[in-house]
């Protein structure tokens, strides 16, 4: 039986996908919640608010898993952390700016 050792950079990529990917998916959904149809600042009915809340909550996981599945396309774990971490920080900063502006 020929068992190949797991490449060391795969652990870093996996952790980048788990942690930075999670915050990136939160950021993407947060931006959509603010700027999407019937954004958070508009007056909407209770039924619309419940639908929008549920949609935003449930769409986080598919986006997160999509990011996690593509994280292995980075050459190194450092690239994965840099790009995903940078994108996550940028998306969260955009949300903070939207909260202040709208």
Domain membership of residue 49 (yes or no) is: yes
The answer on pLDDT for 72 being more than 70 is: yes
**19 inside domain:** no
When divided into structural domains, the chain yields a total of 1
- Identify whether 75 is part of a domain: yes
User: pTM (2 decimals)?
Assistant: 0.87
Taking the CA of residue 78 as centre, how many other CA atoms within 13 Å lie in the half-sphere pointing to its CB? Answer: 0
pLDDT at 94 over 60: yes
**What range does the domain containing 64 cover?**
24-38+45-101
CA 74 to chain centre: 17
Judge whether residue 3 has pLDDT over 80.
Answer: no
pLDDT for the residue 6: 63
**What are the distances in angstroms from CA 99 to CA 32, 41, 43, 53, 92?**
13, 9, 16, 17, 11
Compute φ and ψ for 7, nearest 5 degrees.
-60, 135
**Please, how many CA atoms are within 13 Å of residue 100, restricted to the half-sphere of its CB?**
5
**Residue where the block lists tokens 């909550």:** 57
């Amino acid at each position: 039986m020929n068992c190949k050792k797991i490449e060391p950079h795969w652990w870093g990529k996996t952790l980048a996908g788990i942690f930075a990917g999670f915050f990136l998916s939160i950021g993407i959904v947060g931006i959509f919640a603010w700027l999407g149809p019937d954004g958070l600042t508009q007056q909407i009915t209770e039924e619309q608010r419940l639908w929008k809340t549920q949609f935003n909550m449930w769409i986080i996981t598919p986006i997160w898993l999509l990011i996690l599945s593509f994280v292995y396309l980075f050459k190194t774990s450092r690239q994965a952390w840099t790009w995903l971490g940078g994108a996550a920080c940028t998306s969260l900063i955009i949300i903070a700016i939207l909260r202040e502006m709208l």
